[in-house]
């Protein structure tokens, strides 16, 4: 607000008055003659007189400014932009590199001026240890890895659209663009947020690492996940037990498989929580059949595959539902397979191949039509006869012409049953014959030898059994030569049970050996961890320090009662074994609540650990309170999990400032109110020292030490004190200082330093070059450079190849303008740095931080938006050109802390002040406009859209371009006036406005349905939504 003008006349009015007075003072002057020199003199006088009036009109403002200055209200100085900067080390470097404090980096100027210099505030040790792994683990054992390569550089966004529908179980997606995708990339599918991992991508085809879990229609949007929300995404945890036996599992479709325990029970088939699978060019489900399993129809044989580098025939049991009882842990597992009676692979009678007849029709002669001693019958069955130690059963139907009454004696005494052991045919010593006379079925059972081997019979390599006719028993009494043995329906079955050759357990992305004898108790239940944590893996130990990691986190809002508490731990080698140990850190992230640096010193006992299938040096942050995504006993919802947008090693925070040390700014003459000037402005921080050696006694020097004053002594080579620098402190106002206080007042914008007069502040002692300053200067909006702009290393450091800022610099603001200070001053006088009214809270919020565009105080309202006496909610909106400006976590905390120090005790309690961003409501305009002629339609449509976008911006829109007030929506008349002014439009034919809040509630406003006044909350701001504007010609 400007002060009233003391004299508002302009040049024209002054000239007019002079011309009115001229006839009375200079009647001889011809005022009508424009060429008269007096006319020029008159105009010059009028111009100078107006200049004097303008200075006179500024007197109230100047007096007001002096008044504010006397009260200690000055222009707010420029603030420094801050950014994280990563220092890149030379390739192959083995040792860490020290980055000293005040190391300078710079960004090239965009305006052609000097480089924009930034400076580190703290020393840092840049480590060659690379971050190779980043993942989160839930308390129940879920493992969620971050997108690949995220730990070293930002992940570039990518968007695509499904060009064909995708069904549940599909692993191939057809999209309009798969360029840039790499194996391991994580995709977000549709608005529901389903996830899929990329196995391969080429052209317009994406192959997934695992089948889809849902159905997605054509047109579904797909995006690459560029951030990492802890405990969300694709769960890579897999609890799997692998059982291998190359011989026993060499079976196919006619075989039943049982997994039995030491008591002979087979509980695995009844456990619906576990999916049992076998390998057949891919893992396929075993089909339950009572207490046993069978392979799928069409499977010839369980195939060989490699698990953890070991090739064998494997079964695997995969947990699909955790908990709920089921299979118990067992000391010993055994695999039992039983092959159904099936025809043999090959049959030979002597040297002639034969085909067994089935169903009792026909048949063949076991030893030919004319048996003789030495005749031989061969039977091959790769599956049944290869099972070492198994029980094999041969069965066939005896024909009518056979010696039915002598079958058992013939099969045990007149023939010799033999197998091939790799060197010759050996007789089975133990065998039994069972003849079922009513059905004519003969069954011969024997235990397969452990040394059975492949044999070649008539050029056919297989596992063979040989039946050789010896024609007599041991006593020589039985003679069958010349008697035919007709048989049919020859079949082979078997049963074998054995301990697995190998047992592997896969959990936490790594294999463990559970083979019998390892001392491990076998089972399926996962071993849950009782904590959830984020894990960071290094390829080597990050030793010494301070080592600094920067975590770029998405802004989250945490209830003070449910604020996370993160304890950082490292895996250490200690006496008695390795274990997790607490690591002392400087946590600039406030327990993963905001972006910041995590600094620590790596201890020498940091050791490797094989976690998640990786041998790494592990650092983890444990959610000790378990607040993420969990509810407390009262049903309050848990805190949102942190979202990591980037993790960068060897990264320090830099400010847009330059440091100067030991700068002598003058000599004190001992006069009151002495003034000095800092050479470079604006001043961000300073330490001022006065050399008081000539004015202070030894006793006073000792007293200074007792008071805790900061001083620095300079001595010569003999140890004599030559300078005694005492630090003086900055005061807000010298008028409040005492006569013995070493203080000064500084205007950081102009760099002016003023000392006291002996009554209000001490006078510096007389001396030459005895006023010295350490200070940092810089700041302004110029320092808000984008990500990747800081690339110049001004301080030379060996083995540092370059620098870059992965995140844009922010927080830089220019010096406050005079008009802004004049508007702020009366408010400061009103609230006097204490908040009482709602207006006081709003004023203090503006003072808390630069860059706040809008503030709304909601007294007696808690964080849920409900009435609550003694609670207060502040809604703040940062200055931004974005469509939906929201305050950062750092800005919210800054305002909270500032207000808390100045609020009444009832409001200043922990958790009583809630600072939040606005609730945005989308305003979508549906309009039909009529243009003058067809040629004006395209341009009118473009201009209409542009006007709507600008008019509905929350901070720069509105009727006067100053944004919208909280809780206010535009009237239809505003929109009619806005669109009617579009060049080339004849009139607005139809207009409707749709308002949709963040919870999906909608209100339609048109000429017949006005806006309900009470429908919009106090903390709501509108923004421009999706408009539908149709422009037609009036000639249509």
Q: Helix, strand or coil for residue 893?
A: helix
| Mean pLDDT (the chain, rounded) | 87
In a shared domain, residues 487 and 449: yes
Output the CA–CA distances (angstroms, integers) from residue 346 to 352, 621, 750, 1004, in the order listed: 11, 65, 105, 82
Backbone angles phi, psi at 43, to 5 degrees: -70, -40
pTM of the model: 0.81
Alpha carbon of residue 934 to chain centroid: 51
Q: Is residue 425 part of a domain?
A: yes
Q: Could you give the CA distance from residue 69 to residue 390 in angstroms, rounded to a whole number?
A: 103
Query: Cβ distance 79 to 26 under 8 Å?
Result: no
Q: Helix, strand or coil for residue 116?
A: strand
Full domain range(s) for residue 214: 156-225
Tokens of 838: 């709602």
Output the CA–CA distances (angstroms, integers) from residue 898 to 39, 300, 374, 504, 841, in the order listed: 62, 76, 108, 59, 10
Q: Could you give the CA distance from residue 350 to residue 342 in angstroms, rounded to a whole number?
A: 22
In a shared domain, residues 863 and 976: no
The residue out of 884, 899, 916 marking a domain boundary is: 916
Angle at 720 between CA 717 and CA 721, to 5 degrees: 115
**How many CB atoms sit inside 10 A of residue 817's CB?**
11
pLDDT of residue 523: 55
- Provide the terminal-to-terminal Cα distance of the chain, rounded to the nearest Å: 52
Closest to 12 measured CA to CA, from 38, 43, 39, 35: 43
In a shared domain, residues 904 and 935: no
* pLDDT tens sequence across 278-318: 998 889 988 888 888 888 887 878 999 999 999 999 999 88
Q: Is residue 796 part of a domain?
A: no
Alpha carbon of residue 962 to chain centroid: 36
The dihedral region occupied by 11, where left means phi > 0, alpha psi between -120 and 50, and beta the remainder, is alpha
Q: Which residue, chain included where needed, has tokens 């069955």?
A: 381
> Residue 746, preceding bond cis, omega within 30 degrees?
no
Sign of CA dihedral 519, 525, 528, 534: positive
pLDDT of residue 325: 42
> How sure is the predictor about 358, in pLDDT bands with cuts at 50, 70 and 90?
very low
Sequence length of the chain is 1036
Output the CA–CA distances (angstroms, integers) from residue 1007 to 352, 924, 948, in the order listed: 100, 16, 19
pLDDT of residue 405: 61
Query: Any long-range contacts for 879-883 (C-beta under 8 Å, 24+ apart)?
Result: 879/851, 879/852, 879/853, 879/955, 880/853, 880/955, 881/956, 883/953, 883/1023, 883/1024
Angle at 510 between CA 581 and CA 199, to 5 degrees: 120
Q: Helix, strand or coil for residue 186?
A: strand
Q: Is residue 4 part of a domain?
A: no
Q: What is the 3-state secondary structure (H, E, C) of 465-516?
A: EEEEECCCCCCCCCCCCCCCCEEEEEEEEEEEEECCCEEEEEECCEEEECCC
Q: Could you give the CA distance from residue 116 to residue 778 in angstroms, rounded to a whole number?
A: 9
Query: Cβ distance 872 to 895 under 8 Å?
Result: no
Q: Could you give the CA distance from residue 648 to residue 320 in angstroms, rounded to a whole number?
A: 36
Q: Could you give the CA distance from residue 876 to residue 891 in angstroms, rounded to a whole number?
A: 9
Q: Is residue 15 part of a domain?
A: yes
- The domain total for the chain is 8
List all residues 6 or more positions away from 514 whose beta carbon is below 8 Å from its beta carbon: 241, 503, 504, 505, 520, 522
In a shared domain, residues 351 and 490: yes
Where is average pLDDT lowest: 26-40, 137-151, 346-360, 906-920?
Answer: 346-360
Question: DSSP letter string over 263-326?
Answer: TS--GGGG-TTEEEEEESSSEEEPEEETTEEEPPTT--SPPEEEETTEEEEEEEEEESS--SS-
Q: Is residue 68 part of a domain?
A: no
In a shared domain, residues 608 and 668: no
Sign of CA dihedral 261, 267, 273, 277: positive
> How sure is the predictor about 142, in pLDDT bands with cuts at 50, 70 and 90?
confident
**Could you give the maximum distance between any two Cα atoms of the chain, in Å?**
176
List all residues 6 or more positions away from 471 whose beta carbon is below 8 Å from its beta carbon: 372, 373, 414, 478, 479, 480, 481
**Of the ranges 416-420, 547-551, 893-897, the best mean pLDDT one:** 547-551
pLDDT of residue 638: 65
Residue 476 has pLDDT above 50, yes or no: no
Q: Which residue, chain included where needed, has tokens 């005022």?
A: 31
Q: Could you give the CA distance from residue 85 to residue 808 in angstroms, rounded to a whole number?
A: 10
Query: Cβ distance 644 to 230 under 8 Å?
Result: yes
Query: Cβ distance 621 to 566 under 8 Å?
Result: yes
Instruction: Determine the average pLDDT of the residues in 1009-1027.
Output: 81
pLDDT of residue 1015: 64
> How sure is the predictor about 359, in pLDDT bands with cuts at 50, 70 and 90?
very low
The residue out of 603, 624, 649 marking a domain boundary is: 649
**How many CB atoms sit inside 10 A of residue 517's CB?**
9
> How sure is the predictor about 632, in pLDDT bands with cuts at 50, 70 and 90?
very low
**Does 542 or 273 have the greater pLDDT score?**
542
In a shared domain, residues 346 and 455: yes
**Does 118 or 401 have the greater pLDDT score?**
118
Output the CA–CA distances (angstroms, integers) from residue 928 to 942, 1028, 1029, in the order listed: 14, 9, 6
Q: Could you give the CA distance from residue 123 to residue 118 in angstroms, rounded to a whole number?
A: 14
In a shared domain, residues 950 and 999: yes
Closest to 160 measured CA to CA, from 182, 181, 137, 131: 181
Residue 995 has pLDDT above 80, yes or no: yes
Q: Could you give the CA distance from residue 557 to residue 875 in angstroms, rounded to a whole number?
A: 13
Instruction: Determine the average pLDDT of the residues in 228-232.
Output: 89
Residue 116 has pLDDT above 90, yes or no: yes
In a shared domain, residues 353 and 490: yes
* pLDDT tens sequence across 394-430: 998 887 555 556 777 777 778 889 999 999 999 887 7
Residue 477 has pLDDT above 50, yes or no: no
Please report, rounded to a whole number, the percentage of residues in the chain having pLDDT higher than 70. Answer: 92
Q: Which residue, chain included where needed, has tokens 């997790």?
A: 580
Q: Are strands 310-319 and 240-244 parallel, antiparallel or unpaired?
A: antiparallel
Q: Helix, strand or coil for residue 17?
A: helix
Residue 904 has pLDDT above 60, yes or no: yes
Query: Cβ distance 295 to 253 under 8 Å?
Result: yes
Q: Is residue 627 part of a domain?
A: yes
Task: Check which CATH number belongs to the domain holding 857 and give it.
Answer: 3.30.300
Q: Are strands 614-623 and 608-611 parallel, antiparallel or unpaired?
A: antiparallel
E strand or H helix at 939? helix 937-951
List the beta bridge partners of residue 533.
Answer: 137, 622
Buried b (16+ CB within 10 A) or exposed e, 557-566: bbeeebebeb
In a shared domain, residues 593 and 549: yes
Where is average pLDDT lowest: 192-201, 257-266, 957-966?
Answer: 257-266
Instruction: Determine the average pLDDT of the residues in 237-246.
Output: 89
pLDDT of residue 266: 63
E strand or H helix at 25? helix 11-25
**Of the ranges 84-98, 361-375, 922-936, the best mean pLDDT one:** 84-98
In a shared domain, residues 604 and 674: no
In a shared domain, residues 193 and 314: no
Q: Is residue 318 part of a domain?
A: yes
Tokens of 835: 């908040």
Sign of CA dihedral 603, 609, 613, 619: negative
List all residues 6 or more positions away from 285 whose beta carbon is below 8 Å from its beta carbon: 275, 276, 277, 296
What is the tally of helices (H) and strands (E) in the chain? 11, 66
In a shared domain, residues 893 and 906: yes
Residue 635 has pLDDT above 80, yes or no: no
Q: Is residue 528 part of a domain?
A: no
The residue out of 752, 777, 802 marking a domain boundary is: 777
Residue 239 has pLDDT above 80, yes or no: yes
**How many CB atoms sit inside 10 A of residue 67's CB?**
12
* pLDDT tens sequence across 677-705: 999 999 999 999 999 998 888 888 888 87
Q: Helix, strand or coil for residue 847?
A: helix
């Amino acid at each position: 607000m400007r002060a009233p003008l003391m004299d508002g006349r302009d040049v024209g009015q002054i000239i007019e008055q002079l011309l009115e007075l001229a006839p009375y003072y200079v009647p001889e002057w011809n005022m009508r003659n424009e060429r008269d020199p007096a006319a020029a003199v008159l105009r010059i006088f009028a111009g100078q007189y107006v200049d004097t009036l303008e200075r006179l009109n500024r007197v109230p403002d100047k007096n007001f400014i002096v008044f504010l200055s006397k009260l200690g209200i000055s222009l707010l100085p420029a603030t420094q932009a801050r950014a994280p900067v990563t220092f890149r080390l030379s390739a192959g470097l083995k040792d860490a590199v020290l980055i000293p404090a005040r190391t300078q980096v710079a960004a090239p100027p965009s305006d052609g001026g000097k480089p924009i210099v930034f400076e580190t505030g703290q020393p840092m040790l840049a480590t060659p240890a690379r971050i190779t792994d980043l993942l989160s683990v839930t308390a129940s054992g879920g493992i969620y890895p971050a997108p690949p390569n995220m730990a070293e550089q930002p992940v570039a966004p990518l968007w695509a659209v499904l060009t064909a529908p995708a069904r549940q179980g599909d692993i191939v997606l057809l999209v309009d663009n798969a360029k840039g995708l790499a194996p391991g990339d994580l995709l977000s599918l549709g608005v529901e947020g389903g996830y899929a991992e990329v196995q391969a991508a080429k052209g317009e085809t994406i192959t997934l690492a695992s089948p889809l879990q849902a159905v997605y229609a054509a047109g579904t949007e797909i995006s690459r996940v560029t951030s990492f929300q802890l405990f969300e995404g694709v769960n890579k945890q897999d609890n799997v037990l692998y059982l291998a036996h190359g011989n026993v599992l060499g079976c196919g479709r006619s075989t039943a498989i049982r997994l039995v325990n030491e008591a002979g029970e087979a509980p695995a088939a009844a456990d619906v929580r576990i999916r049992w699978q076998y390998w057949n060019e891919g893992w396929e489900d075993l089909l339950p059949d009572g207490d046993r399993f069978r392979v799928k129809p069409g499977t010839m044989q369980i195939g060989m595959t490699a698990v953890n580098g070991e090739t064998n025939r494997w079964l695997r049991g995969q947990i699909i539902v955790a908990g709920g009882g089921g299979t118990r842990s067992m000391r010993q597992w055994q695999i039992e397979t039983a092959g159904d009676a099936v025809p043999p692979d090959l049959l030979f009678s002597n040297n002639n191949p034969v085909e067994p007849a089935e169903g009792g029709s026909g048949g063949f002669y076991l030893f030919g039509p004319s048996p003789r001693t030495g005749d031989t019958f061969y039977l091959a069955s790769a599956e049944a006869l290869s099972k070492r130690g198994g029980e094999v059963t041969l069965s066939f139907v005896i024909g009518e012409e056979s010696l039915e009454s002598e079958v058992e004696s013939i099969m045990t005494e007149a023939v010799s049953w033999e197998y091939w052991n790799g060197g010759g045919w050996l007789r089975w010593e133990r065998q039994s014959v069972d003849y079922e006379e009513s059905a004519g079925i003969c069954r011969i059972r024997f235990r397969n030898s452990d040394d059975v081997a492949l044999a070649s019979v008539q050029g056919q390599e297989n596992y063979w059994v040989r039946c050789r006719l010896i024609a007599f028993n041991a006593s020589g009494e039985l003679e069958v030569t010349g008697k035919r043995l007709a048989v049919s329906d020859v079949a082979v079955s078997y049963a074998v049970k054995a301990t697995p050759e190998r047992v592997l357990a896969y959990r936490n992305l790594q294999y463990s050996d559970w083979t019998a004898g390892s001392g491990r108790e076998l089972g399926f239940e996962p071993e849950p961890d009782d904590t959830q944590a984020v894990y960071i893996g290094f390829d080597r130990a990050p030793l010494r320090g301070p080592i600094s990691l920067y975590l770029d986190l998405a802004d989250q809002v945490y209830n003070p009662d449910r604020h996370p508490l993160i304890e950082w731990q490292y895996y250490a080698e200690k006496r008695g074994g390795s274990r997790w140990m607490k690591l002392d850190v400087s946590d600039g992230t406030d327990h993963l609540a905001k972006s910041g640096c995590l600094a620590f010193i790596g201890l020498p006992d940091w050791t490797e650990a094989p976690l998640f299938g990786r041998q790494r040096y592990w650092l983890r942050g444990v959610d000790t309170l378990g607040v993420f995504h969990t509810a407390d006993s009262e049903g309050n919802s848990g805190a949102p999990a942190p979202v990591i947008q980037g993790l960068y090693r060897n990264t320090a925070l830099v400010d847009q400032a330059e440091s100067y040390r030991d700068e002598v700014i003058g000599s004190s003459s001992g006069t009151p109110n002495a003034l000095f000037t800092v050479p470079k402005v604006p001043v961000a921080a300073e330490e001022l020292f006065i050399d008081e050696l000539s004015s202070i006694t030894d006793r006073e020097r000792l007293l200074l030490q007792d008071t805790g004053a900061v001083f620095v002594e300079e001595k010569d080579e003999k140890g004599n004190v030559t300078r005694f620098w005492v630090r003086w402190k900055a005061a807000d106002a010298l008028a409040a200082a005492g006569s013995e206080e070493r203080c000064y007042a500084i205007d950081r914008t102009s760099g002016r330093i003023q000392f006291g007069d002996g009554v209000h502040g001490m006078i510096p002692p007389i001396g030459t070059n005895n006023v010295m300053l350490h200070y940092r200067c810089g700041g302004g909006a110029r320092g808000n450079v984008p990500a990747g702009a800081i690339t110049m290393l001004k301080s030379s450091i060996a083995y540092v190849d370059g620098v870059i800022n992965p995140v844009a610099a922010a927080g830089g603001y220019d010096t406050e303008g005079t008009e802004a200070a004049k508007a702020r001053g009366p408010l400061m006088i009103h609230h006097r740095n204490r908040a009482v009214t709602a207006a006081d809270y709003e004023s203090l919020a503006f003072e808390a931080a630069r860059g706040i565009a809008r503030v709304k105080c909601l007294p007696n309202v808690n964080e849920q938006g409900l009435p609550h006496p003694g609670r207060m909610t502040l809604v703040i909106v940062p200055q931004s050109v974005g469509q939906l400006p929201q305050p950062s976590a750092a800005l919210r905390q800054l305002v909270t802390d500032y207000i808390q120090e100045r609020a009444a005790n009832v409001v200043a309690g922990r958790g009583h002040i809630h600072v939040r961003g606005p609730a945005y409501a989308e305003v979508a305009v549906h309009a039909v406009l009529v243009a003058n002629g067809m040629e004006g339609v395209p341009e009118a449509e473009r201009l209409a859209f542009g006007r709507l976008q600008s008019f509905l911006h929350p901070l720069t829109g509105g009727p006067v371009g100053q944004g919208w007030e909280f809780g206010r929506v535009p009237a239809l008349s505003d929109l009619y006036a806005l669109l009617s002014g579009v060049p080339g439009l004849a009139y607005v034919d139809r207009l409707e406005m749709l308002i949709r809040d963040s919870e999906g509630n909608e209100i339609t406003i048109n000429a017949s349905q006005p806006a309900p006044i009470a429908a919009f909350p106090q903390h709501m701001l509108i923004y421009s939504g999706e408009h539908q504007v149709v422009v037609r010609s009036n000639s249509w």
